[in-house]
Structure 1
Amino acid sequence: MIEANSIIERGAFIGEAADTITLDEAQRHRRRMAMVSDHGIAFLLDLAEARLLREGDAITLSDGRYVVVRAKPEELYAIEGRDAVHLLTLAWQLGNRHLPCQIEAKRILVRRDHVIRDMLLELGAHIHEVEAAFDPVGGAYATPGAAPHSHGHTHGHDHTHSHG
């Protein structure tokens, strides 16, 4: 089976793709999984760490071809506030509930959930049902495209110095 163990981040891929693969946000968060592209290229995604594949990322196949990731539209709420401070307050409420959110300049996108909708309406939010690609913000310790991880690291040198 063809394997894929590296990703070229969106914006960095130059060239022609052999195919695309269209996945919703949950399907795009992967480490290891058998996949089939939109036109039938079967491959095993086998990454070192779980990561969120983003719209426009290119999956490098072991035979030298590339499959470009497309984000499948999902049923979402587009949330708007009365003003910037109100929108920030709504964002804080959503973050307090650990909900994946796509943050934009004038709105926040979240998956549809009637309980969250009712809470947001009580807080004075303006809510519109939309179908759009969902590209939520990563966690506090996530690197671009990666799953959350610990912050431990080494640099190959020490950071000691004298305080003389």
Structure 2
Amino acid sequence: MNLPTATSVTRYFDNPAAHITLDETARHRRRMRMVSDRLDNGAAIVFLLDLPQARLLRHGDGLVLDDGRIIEVCAAPEQLMEVRGKDTRHLLSLAWQIGNRHLAAQITDTAIRIRRDHVIREMLIGLGASVEDIDAPFDPEGGAYGGAHEAHHHHAGQVHDHIHFDEHEHEHEHGHRHD
């Protein structure tokens, strides 16, 4: 049986044939067999995702099937923390701290959303942030090199070291400890 195949993504469409609801991790894909959410008649559309390169599928993207139908991507709610600062300058400082730990982050006009993590929560509260648990779709910023999401996750007790070279060709070490 040949499955319908999605080889491209669009943001411009009306009346999708179906929806597929995925969390942020499951939305970072290139090639795999997928199954849409159930339609009103109880059936689902089984299809092959076959994109030229891995990418983060965003909420509202349309997967264009080779038969012309479109499957709309829906971001599933996830357990997140919404981080707020005392003012814009404070929020920027908190964003720097989050970025320095290579955490995937969704930036809004007034807050930063990240995955729940008790160690990061305590650090942020210690820095004066307001942190609220929410369940919401997670749509983090893309990476600086190519837009794909490049964040990696740390586990409690993991030490993570980086060595960076600047334009003067000497190295800087950055050690992070997450307890």
TM-score (norm 1): 0.84
Query: Residues of 2 paired with 1:121 and 1:74: CA distance?
Result: 21
One-letter amino acid matched to 1:141: Y
Contact residue 36 and residue 71 of structure 2 kept, 8 A:
yes
Runs of 4+ in 1 over 2 A off after TM superposition: none
Q: Is the 8 A contact 2:141 2:149 kept in 1?
A: no
Q: State yes or no: 1:139 paired with 2:138.
A: no
Identity of aligned residues (%): 55
CA contact (8 A) 2:31 2:49 kept: yes
- Number of matched residues? 143
Q: Check if 1:8 corresponds to 2:7.
A: no
Alignment of 1:49-60 (within 5 A): 49-60=53-64
- Amino acid of the residue matched to residue 20 of structure 2? I
* Mapping of residues 20-31 of structure 1, within 5 Å: 20-31=19-30
The correspondence for 1:112, drawn from 116, 138, 159, is 116
Structure 1 unaligned residues grouped into runs of 5+: 149-164
Quote the Cα distance in structure 2 between the aligned partners of 1:38 and 1:76: 23
More strand by share: 2
Measured after TM superposition, the shift of residue 14 of structure 1 is 2.5
Give 5+ residue unaligned stretches, structure 2: 39-43, 151-179
Q: Could you tell me whether the CA contact under 8 Å between 1:100 and 1:136 is conserved in 2?
A: yes
Shift, 1:122, TM fit: 1.0
Q: Secondary structure at the match of 1:124?
A: coil
